[in-house]
Structure 1
């Protein structure tokens, strides 16, 4: 069986169809279709239905996809085993990050990457930015080797390594009615409309628990849009909001008292073997956050 054809098939499924896979594979739709047809010819049955009804795997296609993932995992394990005989790191490393932590002084992700790239390697680093919930799921599913973010509660299949903390405060946009109020009361804050973090658990303890939340955000940038609109109050990292504070588009509400800190951690899968490259990056990440 041609592994190249199996990888093309797997990529098409991950992208959701031939059209979406063109950019990922750097191939034309007709070329992809020809190669999938060649794979189906070798197997002797159809793997997917494509046409006006959209892209859909057949039942046999689902089995082949599952078997392909097992095969690719075995190949990766072999590669890692063979690579362990050499001092040079090779392969791909998948890192997940929370959004908008580049301005957080305590986050030394860039320093960890720089330290890692000083090693002898032939690596390709993939960096994905997503919400904490999606990052956890991606590590569990094996799509990411590790991730760094604020995770509200531990999951049993993941290992957590604390790295740094982040200060969160309440912010109000210039268009909001409370922007001109010198010291708004807690009652005024609770009665206002808020944009809520979708990744926080329902029992999360906050300095002010709003009575109304007509908007939900799964990324910090989405919270900023709600706050700048003047329609909502929102919790934001103090470091991230600094530029809007300085140009007068936002103000912090009672920053000395109505604030809290969250712990950012690195997560890995607790039961999955790690390649030498992943272990090296973990060492570099932990070393840069021990200061």
Structure 2
């Protein structure tokens, strides 16, 4: 087999781009099963697409089977090349959009978990306005941890992100959105649920297991957390809620997120007058990014929601 047998055709068509997009999603999701939801196609269809791409390239891209999913060394090279190609395509689309008044293309946005219940709904209203102005705009939302959002905006995979403003990275622009209040909660199954407020001293609370965040926090927030008996952790707020609802842990949750359980009597706040903190949230974009009419329109609509 000659060296040219494992090259893509000189002219890439939509079918080749589609295969590369599927492969990119499979790698980022960590396997075929997880990619089903991301791609909204069946696992057999994903498997067929990856096999077709491997045949086209004459390369084994990934290992899959009972031992699990893993990307081969050559597969990693193809993945990185695919990122560059797809990013270049989006850059081209962005540049064309910049000289065209019609909104057409993609907005790739990363959002911290469990913010949909935030009462201000600034992001929701801005997305609605963007879609009303550009029916051809495709909005892609990724719910991922703040550090992954920051990294995604910096490397161009995301045009904009919404993160807790706990630090300022040099390569990002920050647009303040709002402050989120969090309070200390226990569930109705927990011994503290029935205890009178007057008896909820620091000494009493420190005797009970608590779940704390495994993601970055400000010094002030860490000080609140340090008063607790930390015996569990979670990478997101949903995990914290799971452990609180088990009846075995206490922990801090955003008030807007905990409302669904406090309204039903399934949770209560513990000493809300003194055990609370505020987390500022910001939208972030990459400094020096090329002009993007879709992103600019979204940011303009976001500013109007103040």
Q: Give the drift of 1:166.
A: 1.0
> Mean Cα displacement is larger for which, 203-212 or 157-166?
203-212
Match of residue 192 from structure 1: 208
Q: Give the drift of 1:123.
A: 0.9
Match of residue 214 from structure 1: 231
Q: Give the drift of 1:19.
A: 4.0
Q: CA RMSD in A?
A: 2.6
- On the 8 A contact 1:94/1:127 being kept in 2, the answer is yes
Q: Which runs of 5+ in 2 are unaligned?
A: 1-9
Q: Give the drift of 1:113.
A: 1.4
Q: The residue matched to 2:300 in structure 1 has which SS?
A: helix
Residue from 96, 99, 102 that aligns with 2:113: 99
Residue from 247, 265, 283 that aligns with 1:248: 265
- On the 8 A contact 2:95/2:290 being kept in 1, the answer is no
Q: Give the drift of 1:10.
A: 5.2
Residue from 162, 166, 171 that aligns with 1:157: 171
Task: Give the number of aligned pairs.
Answer: 283
Match of residue 57 from structure 2: 39
Match of residue 5 from structure 2: none
Q: Give the drift of 1:9.
A: 3.5
| CA gap 1:286/1:33 in 2 versus in 1, 3 angstroms | same
Q: The residue matched to 1:118 in structure 2 has which SS?
A: helix
Q: Give the drift of 1:72.
A: 2.9
- On the 8 A contact 1:189/1:208 being kept in 2, the answer is no
- On the 8 A contact 1:12/1:18 being kept in 2, the answer is no
Q: Distance in 2 between matches of 1:64 and 1:31?
A: 15
Q: Does 1:15 align with 2:33?
A: no
Match of residue 270 from structure 1: 287
Q: Give the drift of 1:271.
A: 3.4
Q: Does 1:56 align with 2:71?
A: yes
Q: Give the drift of 1:89.
A: 0.9
| CA gap 1:189/1:122 in 2 versus in 1, 3 angstroms | same
Equivalent residues in 2 for 1:77-92 (5 A)? Answer: 77-92=91-106
Q: Distance in 2 between matches of 1:69 and 1:222?
A: 31
Match of residue 167 from structure 1: 181
| CA gap 1:274/1:188 in 2 versus in 1, 3 angstroms | farther
Deviation digits for residues 210-251 of structure 1, max 9, x if unmatched? 352221112212111111111111001112212211221111
Q: Distance in 2 between matches of 1:232 and 1:57?
A: 42
Return the TM-score normalized by structure 1.
Answer: 0.85
Q: Give the drift of 1:178.
A: 1.5
Q: The residue matched to 2:224 in structure 1 has which SS?
A: coil
| CA gap 1:115/1:185 in 2 versus in 1, 3 angstroms | same
Match of residue 126 from structure 1: 140
| CA gap 1:253/1:13 in 2 versus in 1, 3 angstroms | same
- On the 8 A contact 1:87/1:120 being kept in 2, the answer is no
Q: Distance in 1 between matches of 2:135 and 2:98?
A: 12
| CA gap 1:15/1:172 in 2 versus in 1, 3 angstroms | same
| CA gap 1:9/1:167 in 2 versus in 1, 3 angstroms | same
| CA gap 1:22/1:95 in 2 versus in 1, 3 angstroms | closer
Q: Give the drift of 1:121.
A: 4.1
Q: Distance in 2 between matches of 1:138 and 1:211?
A: 33
